[in-house]
Amino acid sequence: SQGRRHELWVVLTIIILALLTGNVSYKQITSFCKAEEEKLIEMLSITSKTLPSYSTIRRVMLGINIIDIQSILTSIINNYYSQKSQEDWIAIDGKSLKNTLTDYEEKSQNMLNVVSWFSQETKLIIKVEIQENKKKSEIAVVLSMIENCDLSNKVFTLDALHCNKEITKTIIESKNDYLITVKRNQIKLHNRL
């Protein structure tokens, strides 16, 4: 325990709270700590009046199975969200976690990507999937998530990466609607607009 300033449960609680609010990288979690410092110290009864540093957060996150944490959080959130039957806009987006980059010299680099679904109504991330980009592309992950979703009457918003017929067809088949950014990745459609 020499040098230990924070109990593990405190660090894990802060990480989980940060993840629930869309902060997924070490820097984002550290920024969350700074922004919510007073509330966290009071809520968690932290007697030292200091929160975990970037290094502490990183060390703890490297020692946990993030997939298990994701699964537990997703289950809790889905239970809460399923009780909400109103219409909702859901922002679907993928982010690469640059601190997980393993092969800096390779042309095709491998890192973890997080695809999240953010509910505009509840302000919660309602679905998350983490994958290695060498194993599965963001497009494939989003497509799979839509195929397996049990939501209906929602509007999915996506960036231009997902502007393709397969994604839009799958969204319609899932009884949802979409709003997708169009850029030059779909040149004919872009020119028509």
What would the DSSP string read from start to end of 25-71?
SHHHHHHHHHHTHHHHHHHTT-TT-----HHHHHHHHHTS-HHHHHH
Based on the structure, what is the number of domains in the chain?
Answer: 2
| Domain membership of residue 115 as a residue range | 84-192
In terms of domains, do 90 and 184 share one? yes
Calpha distance 97→103 (Å, rounded): 13
In terms of domains, do 20 and 103 share one? no
In terms of domains, do 130 and 48 share one? no
Q: Any idea what the CATH number is for the domain that residue 145 is in?
A: 3.30.420.10
Of 75, 114, 109, 74, nearest to 92 (Cα)?
114
In terms of domains, do 24 and 89 share one? no
- When pLDDT is cut at 50, 70 and 90, the band that residue 133 belongs to is confident
**Residues 147-176: what's their mean pLDDT?**
93
pLDDT score at 45: 92
In terms of domains, do 93 and 25 share one? no
User: Does residue 48 form part of some domain?
Assistant: yes
Q: To the nearest whole number, what is the mean pLDDT of the chain?
A: 85
In terms of domains, do 159 and 129 share one? yes
In terms of domains, do 37 and 88 share one? no
Q: How many residues does the chain have?
A: 193
pLDDT(84) > 80: no
pLDDT score at 130: 80
Model pTM score: 0.66
Neighbours of 125 (CB within 10 A): 23
In terms of domains, do 48 and 88 share one? no
pLDDT score at 168: 95
The DSSP secondary-structure symbol of 153 reads S
